[in-house]
Amino acid sequence: MNAQEKVSSKQTIGRFEAKKNNYIGKKVKDLLKDLKLDIQLVSFGGGAPEANNFITIRFIDDIRNSDKNAKSAKITLFIKEHDRATNKLFQSTSGLKKRIKRDSVRYKTNEDMLKGYENLTIVEIYANSDKN
């Protein structure tokens, strides 16, 4: 994985999907090591016996140059584990979709934002950005 292209801008996220096979079967923490962009928002889906668990990670590379009409760059990780304990990680108590927003005081790193999810196994990845 050291030969991987590091994800350092929104433009490289679209190309990330072409290299996704390097992460299939790996842990979330392995993917986080190659992300050089700050995660802005993480959304969680699944959490039910009939639904696949997934994590959607959204980025912004430069707020000053951000186009308000552009689609956000994102990577969606589909997770292998689907037991009762793992499903609880993906469930929201409020009835709304579970989300974590960037808070530089509480979450100093991307790894901090996904603490508790870092040892889950990736089975599929979908990546895209407004500029591929």
Q: Percent of the chain, pLDDT > 90?
A: 53
Q: What is the pLDDT of residues 22-49, one digit of tens each?
A: 999 999 999 999 888 889 999 999 998 8
CA 72/CA 11 separation, integer angstroms:
11
Q: What is the pTM of this model?
A: 0.82
Helix, strand, or coil here: 119?
A: coil
Q: Which pLDDT value is given to residue 35?
A: 84
Give Cβ neighbours of residue 120 (< 8 Å, ≥ 6 apart). 27, 28, 53, 79, 80, 81, 86
Mean pLDDT, residues 122-130 taken together: 86
Would you say residue 117 has pLDDT above 60? Answer: yes
Angle at CA of residue 57, ends 52 and 62, nearest 5° = 165
Q: Where are the domains of the chain?
A: 10-128
Q: Which pLDDT value is given to residue 1?
A: 41
Mean pLDDT, residues 91-116 taken together: 90
Rounded to the nearest integer, the mean pLDDT of the chain is: 83
